[in-house]
Amino acid sequence: MNKNTLGHLRTSLSRKNAFGLLSGIALIGFSLPAFSHGHLVEFDQAIKLDANIENGKKLYKASCITCHGPEGWGVPGSGYPQIAGQLKNVVIKQLADFRAGNRDNPIMRAFSSRRSLGGPQEIADVAAYIASMPMTPNNEQGFRLHLQEGKIIYDKLCAECHGEQGEGDEEEHIPRIQGQHYSYLTRQFNWIRNGRRRNGDEKMIKQIRNFTPPEQVAVLSYVASLKPENVAPQGWRNRDFNTFDRSWRPMQIR
Ligand code: HEC
Ligand code: HEC
């Protein structure tokens, strides 16, 4: 997709009077950050390995549960994402990227480090366990008023990579984004756009660079509203961690 596509889309959206403010788009110039390929070796190794889910469960309990929670559902309205149900290769890619410093998060960098987590086999194991966890039926929603506009933008610009329903793509390690908490989607979208998240997809960055705030709100609200297939029933608890203290809350982060 190129700028013209977004232009056409804007024209058709404005005709529907969906966004009065769609003109006056500010083009914010910035230079693309250098992309490090150093981590790809570790990534390549980990995706080829046969994963041991049982071991993944142990690793999750030892190193991840205190922040991502026993269900892996994160915390709505905070910086903690839902990771349950994320595609295995995506989790592997993100862990390899945190380790390589391509994602700017000191906490995750420490917990995904070789010393804390282990090597490619451990990455593969914990990723397989996370991918097998069902997703929350109550993820944080965005703004319902704009869902229709959001769908139009999503179908035109995002579906080709993230899938019709935001289910992601295992082969291409493109994240599943359906059913994620709205605040987290917003945070990552901004960070990918402004280069703070250095592993952003170049084509995606080009495409979203000149999104207006209403367009962003619309499309991310729509993404948060998409229902994954692997959603847990209401009230579901992860029996793997029966003894975990359910009054748990991770520390506040921005
Ligand atoms: C001390 C808290 C903490 C611990 C422990 C922790 N995480 Fe995280 N994790 C976070 C935070 C905060 C983020 C969001 C990072 C960001 O915004 O860039 C995150 C993000 C992630 C992501 C990226 C999600 C996405 O969709 O972008 C993955 C995957 C992940 N964590 C997996 C793990 C695994 C696996 C472990 C255990 C080995 C773990 N985390 C341990 C706090 C933690
Ligand atoms: C050309 C393919 C492509 C297109 C088009 C695209 N994306 Fe992405 N997107 C990606 C890839 C690849 C990543 C993961 C980058 C990485 O490795 O961290 C990503 C990451 C994301 C993330 C962060 C997910 C997470 O769990 O951390 C969000 C949110 C997102 N995209 C939303 C969108 C939306 C909304 C659109 C449409 C406006 C869009 N993307 C268009 C390829 C694309």
- What pLDDT does 5 receive? 52
Q: Is 87 in the pocket of ligand 1 (CB under 6 A)?
A: no
Phi–psi pair at 226, nearest 5 degrees: -70, 130
Higher pLDDT, 58 or 210: 58
Q: To test the ligand 2 pocket, which listed residue (83, 99, 158, 211) has its Cβ within 8 A of the most ligand atoms? A: 158
Q: Inform me whether the pLDDT recorded for 222 exceeds 50.
A: yes
**pLDDT band at residue 213 using 50, 70 and 90 as cut-offs:** very high
**pLDDT band at residue 9 using 50, 70 and 90 as cut-offs:** low
Phi–psi pair at 159, nearest 5 degrees: -60, -35
Handedness of CA 119, 125, 131, 136 (dihedral sign): negative
Which residue, 154, 174, 169, 129, is CA-closest to 222? Answer: 154
Find the 238 Cα to ligand 2 centroid distance in Å. Answer: 29
- What pLDDT does 11 receive? 52
- What pLDDT does 165 receive? 98
Q: Is 127 in the pocket of ligand 1 (CB under 6 A)?
A: no
- What pLDDT does 22 receive? 34
| Residue 55, Cβ density class (10 Å: 0-12 exposed, 13-18 middle, ≥19 buried) | middle
Find the 241 Cα to ligand 1 centroid distance in Å. Answer: 18
Q: What is the DSSP string of 141-201?
A: P--GGGHHHHHHHIIIIIHHHH-TTS--BTTTTBPP-TT--HHHHHHHHHHHHHTSSTT--
Query: Domain 3-24+37-231: what homologous superfamily?
Result: Cytochrome c-like domain (1.10.760.10)
